[in-house]
Amino acid sequence: MRLPCLILCCLFIAGCDNSPAPYTLPHGPTPWLAVHPDTESMYAADVQLGGVPGLTWTGDLKAALRWAEEENKLVLVEWTAVTNTKCAVVHRQLFPKAPIRQALRPYILVMLYADVVPNEFYKQPPPKDEGRRDGEANYRLERDTTYTAALPLYAILKPIRQGKGQMLATFEGVLEFDNSANAYVYHEREFLAFLQRRQLNPR
């Protein structure tokens, strides 16, 4: 687990004299956003990882921040990759667990692929190499805002205004491979505590 207090206080806490403006996604896919059931949807169907009911994700960070502001919620971002084995294991083994699923539900969930954005995150099939370009943009966003390229990496964002957000905390190391046991070790308790302690009123 990585506690980003020192880094993120300098970079993202509103009101610091030397802090830059809250970041926005510089470039990225134009995918659907999982909208509120009471809102008429103009986006494609929700994507559910591993068939886990109730957990829907978008690849559009800016739209997610706008929606979170309207809904008075926080945004949880996962930086992931199609080619990353750890990410696949987390999606398949950890997210379906009831305590984790319950802790994820209050958030607006955003999944940013740092290699290639899958086609299902687009309303229409993207042009050739668009998914790769968007993945590279997501990678740069992670590197430039968290100073790490760890995968998977989780960040909790508070919406500020018009698609902008303030980063509150990050978490990495949700699992690691134990060579002696030849198996993955999950830091489920720490990850759950990370999710639960930030489920606060964002205003």
The structural domains of the chain, with segments of one domain joined by +, span 5-197
Q: What is the pLDDT of residue 131?
A: 92
Mean pLDDT of 53-77: 90
3-state SS of 117-142 is: CCHHHCCCCCCCCHHHHHHHHHHHHH
User: Residue 48, class by beta-carbon neighbours within 10 Å (0-12 exposed, 13-18 middle, 19+ buried)?
Assistant: middle
Residue 130 near residue 51 (C-beta atoms within 8 A): no
Write out pLDDT tens, residues 132-157: 999 999 999 999 999 999 999 999 99
Calpha distance 116→128 (Å, rounded): 11
Q: In this predicted model, which residue has the larger pLDDT, 96 or 21?
A: 96
Q: Which CATH architecture has domain 5-197?
A: 3-Layer(aba) Sandwich (3.40)
* H/E run at residue 154: strand 153-159
pTM score of the predicted model: 0.76
Q: Among 149, 131, 130, which Cα is nearest to 140's?
A: 149
